[in-house]
Structure 1
Amino acid sequence: MLNRHGFLAAMGAIFCLSATGISFAANPENSGKPNIILVMADDQGWGDTGYNGHPFVQTPTLDAMAKEGFVFDRFYAGAPVCSPTRASVMTGRNPIRTKVTNHGRYMRPHEQTIAETLKANGYVTGIFGKVHLGSGQPDSPCNPTGMGFDEWVIGLNFFDNNPYLSRKGKIEHRKGKGSVILMDDALAFLKKHKDSDRPIFTVVWFPSPHDPHAEVPEGPSLYEGKPHAGYYREITLLDQQVGRLRGAIREMGIADNTIVWYCSDNGGLVRETSGGRERKGSIYEGGLRVPGVIEWPARKLKGRTSVPVTTCDIYPTLLAMAGIELHAPHPLDGMDVSGIIAGTVAERSKPMGFWHKIQGGQGTWSDRIQKAIMEKQHAGAPLPHDPPRMRKDVDEFPQFPEHTSTGHAAWTDWPWKLHRIGGTRFELYKLTDDPMEKTDLSKDPQHTQRREQMQQELDTWMRSVIRSLNGKDYQQK
């Protein structure tokens, strides 16, 4: 069992070491829009990095990014499982609004994504790795082309060694470690476009460290006899691949004006280092709190903040940093946090809402599905999974009662966090004093007014989410 005392001290600490006086406006030395690279791990917990004090896992690249860049000490995934968080990155919205209510659900093509917005503003766009938001078939409206990506090589869900990947709809059986292969593809994309007059938007979504942990890093065998050794080997493997990325963009001469933003898609698999109570799959802190680091050498981002930031904030923040005006046709749950990064803003102005298990998830066996498609492609036969997977979650809008409260929701108005469990049970925590959410203050008379106000705010937000889920946003458009 890992010792967690060091983590508890770090979790309770408040950092305000953010950089100051940074301007994101273009300057004469570098007037072009920045390249943007979004990197995401699959199931890495907040404490599963060296820079956050893990006792043995080796993450020298992430540690260097943390030292040289800007660290979000309280960075939150939009959901405690993978597909919904990815939808929050793409749209700046709570994923339930987009119909990604749980893992394996498709994101509706009606959504406006960050890729579509950046593409409309001159960017060339590419996505590589685990997507888990839709189809890999060429004619599906829910494939990455429909999300705004020019080039893509993807798995439908997690994958490990020797994966089957879809390159713009054509399935390839690749040999090697999946996390290495996707970085090969991402670097090839960057190299292809580095000398063009268009800025580059690249999404690199790792399949690691999701189980079954079959990938291993380069070098001698690590962590023998340690708990969860396979999990931590894959974290070191992805760290090595992030190192390849940082080294390659420097060799290409594009690192200075490139924003690299790293995070995980949900809490980790080990409770002791999850960054809070519970782990992946939970709305408690351990299921949502994840590593978050951003670097942009041209703007000398440096420091660390405890102001809460979420994956819903990535979309509006990057547009602000790139000098692009955001015209959002649908309600956003995220906010522009560039002021927090610049050191000009000391607190979050918008509460964060979370909601899980309004619906169950759906299994997506990436290699099994894509292998079947590849065999049909080679044989010139009709493709399988058509139409069920081609247009899943696209044409029909099943209506949810507006007062739906299934599952577990939470409302964080820092430092207070209100849980609504099963619709009727409430818990209230003050995270600065109680980062492990042990002492429920919901029945404390001193906090009755606060609890009632937060209950009303959470309920109002949940009704808004249900209206979005029922398709009202698109009807207004």
Structure 2
Amino acid sequence: MIRHFFLTTPLFLMIYLCGFSYIAKAASQSDKPNIILVMSDDQGWGDTAYNGHPFVLTPELDAMAKNSFVLDLFYAGAPVCSPTRASVMTGRTPIRTKVTNHGRYMRPQEITIAHTLKKAGYINGIFGKVHMGSGQVNSPCNPSGMGFDEWIIGLNFFDNNPYLSHKGIIKQRKGKGSVIIMDDAISFLNKNKDKGQPLFTVIWFPSPHDPHVELPEGPSLYDNQHKKHRGYYREITLVDQQLGRLRTELKNMGIAKNTILWYCSDNGGLNEKTSGGRKKKGSIYEGGLRVPSIIEWPAHKIKGRSSVAMSTCDMYPTLLAMAGIELSPLHPLDGIDVSGIIMGTEDERKKPIGFWHNFQSGQGTWSDKILKAIMKKQKAHSPLPHDALRINKDVYDFPQFPEDSVTGHAAWNDWPWKLHRINGTKFELYNLQDDPMETRDLSRNDQHKQRLASMKKELDLWMRSVIRSLNGKDYK
């Protein structure tokens, strides 16, 4: 029965996307803001000058932070890349979508922010590192299946002279990967800015992920810094320069005023000393999740800093609210609308944030190697490789996990309290306001016995609901 339903899913999505399309056609789109999401890859909270880094140069981020809205307590949906990207797309904790770790595909049954914005009349484009789906034209897990009209992507991180998929056609591009994808995004904006429809643009940099061979413009930087992180910080400055290009081009195009530009990273950084918390990328502790985040919307002059906890799961419902688009989700969301906090009408969060990592292992994805092999087959007009492995990966795979599954490391952030549950047996409790580095475990303190019991129950109920989603219950 379950398999039969999923075989009919393309029709289900078609009905969803086409439903009420007359609303989008009839309504004027002139007042809808353009939305641009920019995300770096592996940049920690403290790896910006505006957050106090001792030497890294991020003048564009600094200028944006000074004149926009800074989220000081913003969390990635997961401590590694692919799951966080799924949380941005769906507003759901990524295990629900089957992106349980890096390299996993997001199920095509998911309704994305791109699907919803497309219904509202947006033209959608995505550029850069996707890492939660296919780059082949006949896969339901490619960006077209996610709701995008235009896409030029890598399957994972890439650097200089990358192989990229342009709607399924693979080409090797010459130059710095992070510059190339900004070229493509700016071209998309220029091409579509005068069509009378708002634009939704996703720019996901492959940097500062290792191997750190891209170099910023200008003189050599950080030669006197520790060799291990020198290339990392050079790529952060390169990303900063490309963000500056984007902001300048938006002004030159005349569309900057009514464009929501939201910048963040996909997980914690590579240097624990500047991660903004305990540990770094790959950890559920604060250093693996806390990331830089800034929102700019000149038309509404949003400005300031907030220490209210928010996450990438919140981006979907929040952006729809800011754009005046009604959200009627078909599947349970973990994110909430925090536009009131951003716009200055609210000052606290109304729902805890759940995290869960290492429920399953990750899967290796070598973008250039895979795409180069496909390109060679395309040029030779030969059957494409990787069909069985990658085109339909995770599409019809619905293993049934016990509802009480607890594998991995989960956490429940009910600010200022954060409960950790490690492989189901070990619990840790921290007060993040008093102990932001999570060094003093209060789980055995009798003073917090009642709080511990309550948070354990809440986390357990949430984890069970996540497993139900993973098992496919949301799609019935």
TM-score (norm 2): 0.93
Q: Aligned residue for 1:110? A: 109
**1:240 Cα deviation after fit:** 0.2
**Where do 4+ consecutive residues of structure 1 move more than 4 Å?**
none
Alignment of 1:74-473 (within 5 A): 74-227=73-226, 228-473=229-474
- Give the whole-Å Cα distance in 2 for the aligned partners of 1:388 and 1:231: 32
- Give the whole-Å Cα distance in 1 for the aligned partners of 2:421 and 2:443: 11
**1:346 Cα deviation after fit:** 1.0
- Give the whole-Å Cα distance in 2 for the aligned partners of 1:395 and 1:72: 38
- Give the whole-Å Cα distance in 2 for the aligned partners of 1:61 and 1:212: 24
> Amino acid of the residue matched to residue 113 of structure 2?
I
**1:31 Cα deviation after fit:** 5.6
SS of aligned partner of 1:387: helix
- Give the whole-Å Cα distance in 1 for the aligned partners of 2:35 and 2:267: 22
Q: Deviations over 1:52-92 (max 9, x none)?
A: 00000000000011001000000000000000000000000
- Give the whole-Å Cα distance in 1 for the aligned partners of 2:303 and 2:201: 22
Q: Aligned residue for 1:14? A: none
**1:408 Cα deviation after fit:** 0.2
- Give the whole-Å Cα distance in 2 for the aligned partners of 1:400 and 1:173: 41
SS of aligned partner of 2:390: coil
SS of aligned partner of 1:419: strand
Q: Percent identity?
A: 75
- Give the whole-Å Cα distance in 1 for the aligned partners of 2:401 and 2:210: 33
- Checking the alignment, whether the CA contact within 8 Å between 2:30 and 2:198 is kept in structure 1 is no
- Give the whole-Å Cα distance in 2 for the aligned partners of 1:236 and 1:184: 17
Q: Aligned residue for 2:14? A: none
> Amino acid of the residue matched to residue 163 of structure 1?
P
- Give the whole-Å Cα distance in 1 for the aligned partners of 2:147 and 2:257: 26
> Amino acid of the residue matched to residue 170 of structure 1?
I
Q: Deviations over 1:206-251 (max 9, x none)?
A: 0000000000000000000212110000000000000000000100
SS of aligned partner of 1:392: coil
- Give the whole-Å Cα distance in 1 for the aligned partners of 2:179 and 2:343: 33
> Amino acid of the residue matched to residue 351 of structure 2?
K
- Give the whole-Å Cα distance in 1 for the aligned partners of 2:440 and 2:30: 51
SS of aligned partner of 1:153: strand
Equivalent residues, number? 446
Q: Deviations over 1:422-457 (max 9, x none)?
A: 111000000000000000000000000000000000
Q: Aligned residue for 2:15? A: none
- Checking the alignment, whether the CA contact within 8 Å between 2:30 and 2:197 is kept in structure 1 is no
SS of aligned partner of 2:31: coil
SS of aligned partner of 1:127: strand
SS of aligned partner of 1:402: coil
Unaligned runs of 5+ in 2: 1-28
SS of aligned partner of 1:329: coil
**1:342 Cα deviation after fit:** 1.3
**1:376 Cα deviation after fit:** 0.1
Q: Deviations over 1:234-287 (max 9, x none)?
A: 000000000000000100000000000000000000000000000000000000
Q: Deviations over 1:353-405 (max 9, x none)?
A: 00000000000000000000000000000000012210001112011111100
- Give the whole-Å Cα distance in 2 for the aligned partners of 1:305 and 1:248: 28
- Give the whole-Å Cα distance in 2 for the aligned partners of 1:313 and 1:59: 26
- Give the whole-Å Cα distance in 1 for the aligned partners of 2:326 and 2:393: 32
Q: Aligned residue for 2:25? A: none
> Amino acid of the residue matched to residue 364 of structure 1?
T
> Amino acid of the residue matched to residue 66 of structure 2?
K
Alignment of 1:7-18 (within 5 A): none
Unaligned runs of 5+ in 1: 1-29
- Give the whole-Å Cα distance in 1 for the aligned partners of 2:63 and 2:99: 34
- Give the whole-Å Cα distance in 1 for the aligned partners of 2:318 and 2:294: 14
SS of aligned partner of 1:286: helix
- Give the whole-Å Cα distance in 1 for the aligned partners of 2:301 and 2:211: 38
- Give the whole-Å Cα distance in 2 for the aligned partners of 1:395 and 1:462: 23
- Give the whole-Å Cα distance in 1 for the aligned partners of 2:389 and 2:214: 32
- Give the whole-Å Cα distance in 1 for the aligned partners of 2:98 and 2:280: 24
- Give the whole-Å Cα distance in 2 for the aligned partners of 1:208 and 1:280: 14
SS of aligned partner of 1:201: strand
- Give the whole-Å Cα distance in 1 for the aligned partners of 2:313 and 2:417: 19
SS of aligned partner of 1:389: helix
SS of aligned partner of 2:39: strand
SS of aligned partner of 2:399: coil
Q: Deviations over 1:180-216 (max 9, x none)?
A: 0000000000000111110000000000000000000
> Amino acid of the residue matched to residue 33 of structure 1?
K
> Amino acid of the residue matched to residue 72 of structure 1?
L
Q: Aligned residue for 2:58? A: 59
Q: Considering fraction of residues, name the structure with more helix.
A: 2
